[in-house]
A and B are shown apart, each in its own frame.
Chain A
Amino acid sequence: MRSKAPLALMEQIVMLLVFSLAAAVCVRAFVLADRVSRDNAARDQAALKAETAAEVYKACRGDGALAVEKLGGSVERGAWVTLWDADGKQAREEKNAAYRVRVEPEQGGGLLGRAAVTVSAKDGGTLFEMEIAWQEADGGA
């Protein structure tokens, strides 16, 4: 009787190859899911930061200097910029900032003032962006 060992060996090698392929696909899916989850968590915080910046900017009627007085940050080439760390506190330096919120005023039309709010991550990628508008003058004016 001939030994069945080579056959079993071949079978196991094929099995291992197929498994390796499946495992590689799985691990790739895990890594992707992890990255998506991190992005979502960062986007959640970015949305809150954008919301805060939008409300402050609207309350200040598009006055960047007043917004700096109320919430901090700085005005860079007409845009109001605030930096936040991962714990949700304001960061003084760019290197400590996990989120960079930039409110760029846009040309408004008539009674409305407009601005674009962009929140970017440390690597420069955009996490969240929104357009805001507010009434510049009294409705009855």
Chain B
Amino acid sequence: MRKTAERHPVEGVFVLLLAGVFAVCVLLVLFTGARTYRALAERDAEAYARRICVQYVAAKVRHAGGPVYVGNFDGGPSENGDTLFLLEKDGGVACCTRIYYYDGAVRELFTEVSGDGRFRREDGVPVTDAKALSFSRDAGTGLLTVRAEDEAGLFSSVRLLPRAGEGAAP
């Protein structure tokens, strides 16, 4: 009969303990990775939401081929307003693009100038989510200030000098 070597109970416990340490380390790294990824995604989304609104308006103003003015949706031009009007000619017809905030979104409404007064705020196409958007224009320098608040309540603003100049209200 062969004699079996006696196994020390501490060895088994130590192996088990080491396996436990390994499992904990794996979980720690996994959780750290998940937390870091979530923080990155949140920060990127926040930065995007914060800049996209003013960048969108800035791009529209820079590409505007005609006069740009600030006013209220149904009213005429003023130094401060809730709507930005971009005028242009489309096939010889005077057209106007309105950019404004309504019901949780920045909206864009492209219409013929002759059709003014027949459109409502809800007719605009939602472009991006936001909490507020306002415009103002410095009469002296012609500088246009765009101020936006994103869904998280973070403000962002940009000042622009429209190349096409300030236009008369249609």
Contacts and interface: CB of A to CB of B under 8 A. Distances in A.
Contacts of B114: none
B9 to A, nearest CB: 10
Interface of A: 1-3, 5-6, 8-9, 12-13, 15-16, 19-20, 23, 26-27, 30, 33-34, 37-38, 40-41, 44-45, 48, 51-52, 55-56, 58-60, 66, 70-71, 87-89
13 contacts: A5-B11, A5-B14, A5-B15, A23-B25, A23-B29, A27-B29, A41-B47, A48-B54, A51-B58, A52-B159, A60-B141, A70-B138, A87-B154
A3 B8 CA distance: 9
Contacts of B25: 16, 19-20, 23
B43 interface: yes
A34 B36 CA distance: 7
A135 to B, nearest CB: 11
A33 B44 CA distance: 12
A9 B161 contact: no
Contact of A16 (B21, B54, B141, B142): B21
Contact of B157 (A15, A52, A60): A52
Given A56-B143, A59-B143, A71 B159 contact: yes
Nearest to B156: A88
A88 B159 CA distance: 13
A59 B142 contact: yes
A3 B44 contact: no
Contacts of A1: 2, 4-5
